[in-house]
């Protein structure tokens, strides 16, 4: 599916892409291809914007995004979220660790492993998975936001995989695909 040029977009797609350009200074290919379904793009942007105001900090959300994108094998999202993480000052070691759902911070490590369990078990996590993240200090609110972020980033992964979005960030290949 071809990306929609924001300058050529019409109606709701134009409105949404203009908002993306105003917020981020440009429109990544992901948003330009999602704009074929203004309702889908609106839903993604709304949930993303809502979660930006949640209890999980930016870095934790993007560590979850990278872990989820790695498991789902999405080169577009892995590339985009890695570039965004680097741009915000995340260290290479941090980015590499979260690709394996790990962190040197015990609470973040437990959160990433919980997010990975959600993806791998399609939401049917065990009571042990739940207890591990609780024992690491995650609140009920944080746990629910982990689930919401997994859903958001899985949506992004699936959309970009289905429509074959052209990567417009430095390419990061999922580990299983690189092997």
Confidence band (pLDDT; 50, 70, 90) for 179? low
pTM of the model: 0.94
Q: Over range 116-133, report the average pLDDT.
A: 97
Whether 178 shows a pLDDT value over 80: the answer reads no
Contact at 8 Å (CB) between 55 and 140?
no
Show the domains of the chain with their CATH numbers: 11-52 (no CATH), 58-162+170-178 (1.20.1290.10)
Rounded to whole angstroms, the maximal C-alpha distance in the chain is: 51
Q: Over range 49-56, report the average pLDDT.
A: 97
Q: What is the pLDDT of residues 16-42, one digit of tens each?
A: 999 999 988 899 999 999 999 999 999
Structure tokens at 176: 């299983």
């Amino acid at each position: 599916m071809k990306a929609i040029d924001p300058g050529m977009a019409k109606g709701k797609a134009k409105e949404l892409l203009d908002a993306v350009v105003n917020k981020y200074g440009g429109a990544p290919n992901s948003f330009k291809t999602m704009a074929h379904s203004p309702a889908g793009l609106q839903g993604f942007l709304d949930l993303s914007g809502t979660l930006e105001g949640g209890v999980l900090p930016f870095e934790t959300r993007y560590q979850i995004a990278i872990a989820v994108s790695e498991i789902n094998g999405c080169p577009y999202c892995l590339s985009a979220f890695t570039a965004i993480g680097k741009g915000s000052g995340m260290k290479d070691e941090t980015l590499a660790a979260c690709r394996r759902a790990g962190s040197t911070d015990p609470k973040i490590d437990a959160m990433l492993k919980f997010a990975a369990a959600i993806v791998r078990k399609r939401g049917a996590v065990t009571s042990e998975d739940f207890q591990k993240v609780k024992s690491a200090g995650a609140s009920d609110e944080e746990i629910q936001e982990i689930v919401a972020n997994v859903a958001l980033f899985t949506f992004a992964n699936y959309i970009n995989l289905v429509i074959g979005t052209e990567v417009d960030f430095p390419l990061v290949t999922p580990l299983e695909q690189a092997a």
